[in-house]
Amino acid sequence: MAVIQARQRHDHRATRMLSFDPRRIASGLGWLSIGLGLAATLAPDRMARMIGFRRSRMAARVLRLVGLRKLGAGLGILSRARPARWLWARVAGDVMDLGLLGTAMRSRRVRRERIAAATAAVVGVTVLDALSGAKLSQSSGAAASAVTLRRAITINRRSDEVYRFWRDFTNLPRFMQRVETVQRLSERRSHWRVRGPGGMTLEWDAEITDDVPNERITWRALPASAVDHAGIVRFRQAPGGRGTEVSVEMQYTPPGGGVGAGVAKMFGAAPEQELAEDLRHLKQLLETGEVVISEGSERGVAQSPPTGRGGQR
């Protein structure tokens, strides 16, 4: 009996440790922002050396700007009864910091072990920021803003060829820049792995909800997925026998709603622009058998479009 009671007390303590008060965490993150902001603003050279930069004036200037941003976020969190938006602003800043650190890792003028340690610390804080922001958004009833994208392109191929190629979702990474892999799980389900801003990786499971051969494919992320995502692609015969008009509509809710979408744009990842580029890549791939990205290197080679349905159904 004593053993059971001890185990229950242990489980109760463990549960308390796993649960957290988002408001208390938000307050701590606010003070952390102010402390780091003051240090980066008042002593940017010293902080740059601590992070791993070797006497870089540019790094010191950037850190001073980062410090001002952190000061603003910290004051915003501490001065608001519902600081969810300011926490998502911190997430935006964290992603920017990760991007800067990732760029620094490629330089020979830094101490990479310190940059790696700083990156790990920022990742940990980003998780806290995102969890607290999500909790406070839910408690305040704040709804994230959905982003809707629409683009179309004409491809000089028959609609059945384009449909079959897209219908095998494992082909998507061949022309979509941020889609790393799509793994077929069943006839209608697949697992997506997508590269987000700042080198972050997002994964979720999706299912096909509507499939009309040679006309349209509709899919959506499964409930409780990390990303609320849905899309539909339509295939129509283009006028004058010019091939197939492919129109794509996608909708997703980024973490932090409009703030999350804004972060992506800061990193040159404007979703509507990327979708247009992806469709141009699809056109190149199906018409010429290869995709040439802007850097001048080939993205992938396909000798011919798939002729069988295969793949994911």
- 3 state SS for the chain: CHHHHHHHHHHHHHHHHHCCCHHHHHHHHHHHHHHHHHHHHHCHHHHHHHHCECCCHHHHHHHHHHHHHHHHHHHHHHCCCCCHHHHHHHHHHHHHHHHHHHHHHCCCCECHHHHHHHHHHHHHHHHHHHHHHHHHHHHHCCCCCCEEEEEEEEECCCHHHHHHHHHCHHHHHHCCCCEEEEEECCCCEEEEEEECHHHCEEEEEEEEEEEECCCEEEEEECCCCCCEEEEEEEEEECHHHCCEEEEEEEEEECCCCHHHHHHHHHCCCCHHHHHHHHHHHHHHHHHHCEEECCCCCEEEECCCCCCCCCCCC
Please count the other Cβ atoms lying within 10 Å of the Cβ belonging to residue 109. 11
Instruction: Read off the pTM.
Output: 0.53
> Where does CATH 3.30.530.20 sit in the chain?
147-301
- Domain 147-301: homologous superfamily in CATH: START domain (3.30.530.20)
Please count the other Cβ atoms lying within 10 Å of the Cβ belonging to residue 80. 15
Buried b (16+ CB within 10 A) or exposed e, 59-77: bbebbbebbebbbbbbebb
Please count the other Cβ atoms lying within 10 Å of the Cβ belonging to residue 303. 6
N residues, the chain: 313
pLDDT 10s digits, 55-109? 667 877 888 888 888 888 888 888 777 777 777 778 778 888 888 888 877 777 7
Whole-angstrom Cα distance, residue 185 to residue 182?
9
pLDDT 10s digits, 197-232? 556 677 889 999 999 999 999 999 998 776 778 999
pLDDT number for residue 114? 84
Whole-angstrom Cα distance, residue 264 to residue 48?
26
- Digit-by-digit pLDDT tens for the chain (313 residues) are 443 344 444 444 433 433 456 677 878 888 888 888 888 888 888 888 888 887 667 877 888 888 888 888 888 888 777 777 777 778 778 888 888 888 877 777 778 888 888 888 888 888 877 777 766 765 554 445 567 889 999 999 999 999 999 999 999 999 998 899 999 999 899 999 988 655 667 788 999 999 999 999 999 999 877 677 899 999 999 998 899 999 999 887 765 455 455 445 444 456 788 899 999 999 999 999 877 655 444 444 444 454 444 334 3
